[in-house]
Structure 1
């Protein structure tokens, strides 16, 4: 959004400052007493370090002298498939074959998909024929393998140790690439220090219902906020498995180990994206390329949504424990769990302090009012990133409506996702297979 984005953000910065001043006045300066909430508010704002920094992110570009090196990269796209909607899979394959920068190889690995109604193998014969026919016509090498069901990681790594590509692209089978996603995703590799590149993930079925619209707004703080800020530091910690690019030698180096990660003796098939990202981060820079856009199907029913959230949250908890145990204290990876847990503690500390502090109990109404204003302003500041992606299937009016309603996403995060996260932390050992579905759960809406 550039200068226009900064100009639009100005009113929300002013409102945030005003609400913060009054909160400090109520909790620190009034009557000369300070129950310690002044420090709490200060720490709370410091924990939002990523909010201003994410605006510093710029897409990587390539100079004319660097162009031959990028054009010469051999690229393999690996697509694990498990109980996918055939129409979604077809759209995924067509988007890969239709890239402005052609890839050299496409590997589809069906991890033992089955028909949910009959239990018979789901073979995707039409989609397989499409891939092999069109790839042959374009001069792209393509393979389609069906393996016994072992999990996403095994499907991702299938025969990659034998692959001679320079860059591996991992792509979810329910996702559709923008026409220039591969071309844009390769640009950061002009810097030899870069070992992985995260694509920008945007919900595809955003207009299906209220849940998918809510999910689109909830994606923003991570996909266009925290990850963007980490990218400025060259230290993205979790790529989206939906679309990510890796130096091939990084992936090949860990073949055989990556698939066998376990937690408390249970195979760890979730959080594949964070593990691959950490392999890359240990060897160099990991960045985000906001111009490499991928559209993905998100859950459109509550049951699927909450199962997915639990899976992600449990996996994140395990990865946090991994970072705290194995990463250097000086690294961003070590401090990110500390920040996350500090947020949780502060969220409990503020209401407890107000409850047991007499002069603050008298100001409960004012505190609630200014906290509400501050929360809305912060949500609006984050949600300005909605306008960073312009879509042909979404009007400006729809984007504005989602922006206006974005505080509802903050409320959802506070009263629904925060308690769910606490439950996921307490049950983080309940990890299992890679899928959230025993049958096709999200389908592409008819055109």
Structure 2
């Protein structure tokens, strides 16, 4: 397999014009929807509030690639970078590609730590090839096998004693773009920056309908909420697929991070948001759209549903944690409140309409569909901000045209899964979806 590559295209002027136009259509559609509701004072006000709760949509377009001043480049090049790769029942070929991509970085890393969390899969051939290639490049390596204790323990294994300046967390089913490390280090030229989130793309985007849908959903999200948070320098959720942390942040949370509990049970899911929050307590957290990583997504619905429920449960727990412990003056507190208000409004609307006989259902349905379509196309425009080496311009246009399918998927599949996950968020566990190899690199192409 040839290692994938991508280029961050940014926000060309034509795209900015499209965003302006489609945003205008969205506002007009929401106004039409408000007018179609019963003529009482609460209807228009409620929909105006719902529109305002999507504050992140325009703000996210203010994000730009973060560059280091020329005078700071030498300091960044001197940083000791340790990449930690936790492994559990990973496809050997996927792990091989992951490690090969780390060694092929245009900005070499100092050390790579592989931690096998008690896998049932043998990796002898992968290990020997990796250690030989790393030695030829002068990259230090360690490969440890530990009893199965969960991803957090594998992530933190031996890092408290590591002398790195920056720690990189990388999932074992993810392949780095050649310039990912170089781009991910650039924001650290600002001493206030404590963590950097990478840009996640789907590696096996052509692996059936689930892979294609995931590809449509990933990019608008990571260049949506995460981009808006980065403009504020307050990203709340890095991706486990690729994230960079100042080493001091990770060392300070060692012990507490691995042993977090929820309702008396070990909390192993949603590890990424907890590390991000420790970084946020220490300073700024940002997203670097040009630090790209390609990750394997589930190819079967059963695997996909279990993964989504695990992520959603973890997010529900983290939201409760933020609402309990963050001060009322925190931006994150109020953005979390806004997200939940939006969900409540969307759930309450059908009930309100069903109890009012004056509703013009045809007008409501038409205006609602128009507003949802316009809003989803605004989000889908982000597909053009990244040029993949394995994707033609025509394929990007087709993906953009199919954006309403992703919206329908969110409504019909993900919203019910979210409700189930919130109600069962007490079921916290370890890896959750890795009883064996569930998606392979060859099958996922």
Cα separation, 2, equivalents of 1:302 and 1:431: 21
Alignment of 1:226-375 (within 5 A): 226-360=225-359, 363-375=360-372
Cα separation, 1, equivalents of 2:26 and 2:247: 45
Which has the larger displacement, 396-405 or 94-103? 396-405
Cα separation, 2, equivalents of 1:153 and 1:330: 30
Measured against aligned partners, the alpha-carbon deviations of 1:137-166 in whole angstroms (never above 9, x if no partner) come to 111101111111011001001100110000
Which has the larger displacement, 62-71 or 78-87? 62-71
Q: Does 1:72 align with 2:78?
A: yes
- Gaps spanning 5+ residues in structure 2: where? 1-10
Alignment of 1:19-58 (within 5 A): 19-27=29-37, 33-58=39-64
Shift of 1:268: 0.6
Which has the larger displacement, 125-134 or 104-113? 125-134
SS of residue matched to 1:390: strand
In the alignment, is the contact (CA less than 8 A) between 1:170 and 1:243 conserved in 2? yes
Q: Does 1:437 align with 2:434?
A: yes
- Gaps spanning 5+ residues in structure 1: where? 115-121
Alignment of 1:152-231 (within 5 A): 152-231=151-230
SS of residue matched to 1:282: helix
* 2:14 alignment partner in structure 1: 4
One of 14, 33, 44 as aligned partner of 2:24: 14
* 2:398 alignment partner in structure 1: 401
Query: How many corresponding residue pairs?
Result: 434
Q: Does 1:59 align with 2:65?
A: yes
Cα separation, 2, equivalents of 1:3 and 1:410: 26
Q: Give the TM-score normalised by structure 1.
A: 0.95
Which has the larger displacement, 183-192 or 426-435? 426-435
Q: Does 1:84 align with 2:75?
A: no
* 2:114 alignment partner in structure 1: 108
SS of residue matched to 1:65: helix
* 1:376 alignment partner in structure 2: 373
* 2:8 alignment partner in structure 1: none
* 1:117 alignment partner in structure 2: none
Q: Give the TM-score normalised by structure 2.
A: 0.95
Cα separation, 2, equivalents of 1:335 and 1:104: 40
Shift of 1:4: 1.8
Shift of 1:388: 1.0
In the alignment, is the contact (CA less than 8 A) between 1:78 and 1:168 conserved in 2? yes
Shift of 1:10: 3.6
In the alignment, is the contact (CA less than 8 A) between 1:82 and 1:435 conserved in 2? no
Cα separation, 2, equivalents of 1:261 and 1:90: 31
Shift of 1:427: 0.6
Cα separation, 1, equivalents of 2:77 and 2:105: 13
Measured against aligned partners, the alpha-carbon deviations of 1:394-413 in whole angstroms (never above 9, x if no partner) come to 11111111111111111111
In the alignment, is the contact (CA less than 8 A) between 2:87 and 2:117 conserved in 1? yes
In the alignment, is the contact (CA less than 8 A) between 1:152 and 1:435 conserved in 2? no
Shift of 1:436: 1.1
Measured against aligned partners, the alpha-carbon deviations of 1:229-279 in whole angstroms (never above 9, x if no partner) come to 000000000000110000001101111111000111111111110000000
Shift of 1:136: 0.6
Cα separation, 1, equivalents of 2:59 and 2:33: 24
In the alignment, is the contact (CA less than 8 A) between 1:251 and 1:276 conserved in 2? yes
SS of residue matched to 1:358: coil
Measured against aligned partners, the alpha-carbon deviations of 1:175-209 in whole angstroms (never above 9, x if no partner) come to 00000000000000000000000000011000111
In the alignment, is the contact (CA less than 8 A) between 2:92 and 2:123 conserved in 1? yes
* 1:389 alignment partner in structure 2: 386
In the alignment, is the contact (CA less than 8 A) between 1:104 and 1:141 conserved in 2? yes
Cα separation, 2, equivalents of 1:297 and 1:332: 33
